[in-house]
Amino acid sequence: MNQKSLNVDFEDRSRMIRAVPCPLEDPRRTGARARVAISSDDALVNAGVAAILGSAAGYVVVPADAGSLDVLVVDVTASKLLEKLHKLALRHRGVRFVVLTDAPCDVDLFTAVDYGMAAVVPRDRIDVGRLREALAAVVRGGAYLASEQQERLHEQIRYVQREVLQPRGLTAHGLDSREVDVLRLLARGLALREIGEQLSYSERTIKNILHDMMTRLRFRNRVHAVAYAIRAGLI
């Protein structure tokens, strides 16, 4: 593994942390149609993917510049993957990406996932079934990665936890154990004074903990912070 590529500044990384996305409504149960767009410089790829998705129930293909997207299918070479995903992530906040590419053996998968990549379908293995399977996994809020990519991603995550997060007393979700304790009690409906009594802190200290956490992770309010912790599986 290229450790240099993971030698990130934690403050930069923490500013990129986004709330864990909720799964979209399952089209098979609700009749809802996931809005899917395609980003490719190859007209044949655009037409082929559109034909595959257009014939599948539960999806509607929309232009890549549509105002509201659920999933974006991105066709890109591995050498330009991170650059393109970064640009798309800035343009399409909260959208998940299904990537069509050559084998991304040298790509920093940790950063790619951070930008929103949720599935990878190798170009030499693209077929109707595999593309629909990848898209269905992403719509459910899951991921679609080959076993070797999962292993590399797990290795990179362990490195970041060991070298970046643990020395700072943080979890993989950017919260330390004290912050998680405060959010857990806040979710139970306790007032700040009661939380302080439970944790042996003053009410002012609890306010400072919440303020620092909400500023660092850009939570809009306490409800947003609690929702993040619940959806991340921390409480």
Q: What is the CATH number of the domain that holds 175?
A: 1.10.10.10
Judgement on whether residues 48 and 151 belong to the same structural domain of the protein: yes
Residues 128 and 217 in one domain: no
Say if residue 142 is in the same domain as residue 71: yes
Domain tally for the chain?
2
Predicted pLDDT of residue 98: 94
The residue among 139, 164, 189 that closes a domain is 164
Spatial separation of the C-alpha atoms in residues 14 and 207, rounded to whole Å: 21
- Within the chain, strands assigned E span 34-39, 59-61, 71-75, 96-101, 117-122
Phi, psi of 148 (to 5 degrees): -70, -30
Are 92 and 178 members of one domain? Answer: no
Show which of 146, 164, 182 is a domain's final residue: 164
Residues 13, 1: Cα–Cα separation, whole Å? 19
The pTM of the full predicted model, rounded to 2 decimals, is: 0.60
Check whether residue 91 and residue 129 sit in a common domain.
yes
Distances (CA, A) of 86 to 61, 89, 113: 23, 5, 10
Q: Which of 164, 180, 198 is the last residue of a domain?
A: 164
Q: Are residues 117 and 151 in the same domain?
A: yes
Residue 7 domain boundaries? 3-164
Same-domain status, 118 and 218: no
d(CA 204, CA 65): 47
Statement to judge: residues 199 and 141 lie in one domain:
no
In a shared domain, residues 177 and 73 = no
Same domain, 43 and 158: yes
What is the token pair recorded at 139?
A: 């719509």
CA angle centred on 150, ends 165 and 217, rounded to 5°: 35
CATH number at residue 58: 3.40.50.2300
Regarding whether 197 and 88 lie in a shared domain, the answer is no
Structure tokens at 122: 């190798």
Residue 67's pLDDT is 75
Q: Which two tokens stand for residue 18?
A: 């986004």
The predicted pLDDT at position 208 comes to 95
Rounded average pLDDT per 10-residue block, the chain, 235 residues: 42 38 43 83 87 80 83 91 92 91 75 90 84 90 85 82 78 84 94 95 95 92 91 84
Same domain for 177 and 159, yes or no, is: no
Q: What CA–CA distance (Å, rounded) separates 162 from 140?
A: 30
Helix (H, G, I), strand (E, B) or coil at 85: helix
